[in-house]
Copies of this chain bind each other. A is one copy, B any other.
């Protein structure tokens, strides 16, 4: 085991540091975020699709999820569309289309639809303005609730509220959790490495012998 000092990190080649720091967190989610904007001159609705690895659970009642955006360094379309329209979609990425999903990270011009460019089909549900990914087994309609600006590096944290979920009944288990063994959703490590998974175990609530009460395994 060797200790990598902060001084060493600061002196790393940029590309090397980006790969290292992005891979520190452990496994990440891979989600396609769908947004849209309507051109005020032409009335044309432009669709946008971007793969993001920063989706995080914030709360269950109300149901809240978050994403991080670096609007100062990366293409701004997804963040700008969310801020101007107040809505977006989250779509799981599965084994059968993860390579197409990864291609959405390329920098396309603002009026080009990543759906068309990478070969994924959009779909619209329940009159929701933002587009969903038809192939995704889990599609979530989200409403912008609040956002926070991280002073340290200009990252914006967007907090969204779940409006509805589209998912096959047989993918939801008796206790309410999604059946990840059936889903085929991929896991991501670092910037670019995709994984399938094998279940180890669904563990019971952890129980402190002294306290004698059950508590959930993570925040609700």
Contact B59 A108, beta carbon cutoff 8 Å: no
Q: What's the Cα separation between A54 and B107 when bound, in Å?
A: 28
The range of chain A's interface size is 35 or more
Which residue of B has the minimal Cβ distance to A200?
B194
Contact B192 A18, beta carbon cutoff 8 Å: no
Within 8 Å of chain B (Cβ to Cβ): is A98? yes
Given contacts A200-B186, A215-B106, contact A146 B157 (CB under 8 A): no
Among A95, A105, A173, chain B packs the most CB atoms within 10 A around the CB of A105
Would you list which residues of chain A between 36 and 60 have a CB under 8 Å from chain B?
A: 51-60
Contact A197 B195, beta carbon cutoff 8 Å: yes
Which residue of B has the minimal Cβ distance to A189?
B180
* A contact set with B: CB distance below 8 Å: 1-6, 9, 12-31, 51-66, 68-70, 73-75, 90, 92-93, 95, 98-99, 102-109, 112, 117, 125-126, 138, 140, 145-146, 148, 150-153, 155, 157, 159, 161-169, 172-173, 175-178, 180, 185-208, 210-211, 213-220
Please name the 5 residue pairs, one residue from A and one from B, whose CB atoms are nearest each other, closest first: A26-B29, A19-B176, A16-B176, A70-B219, A106-B208
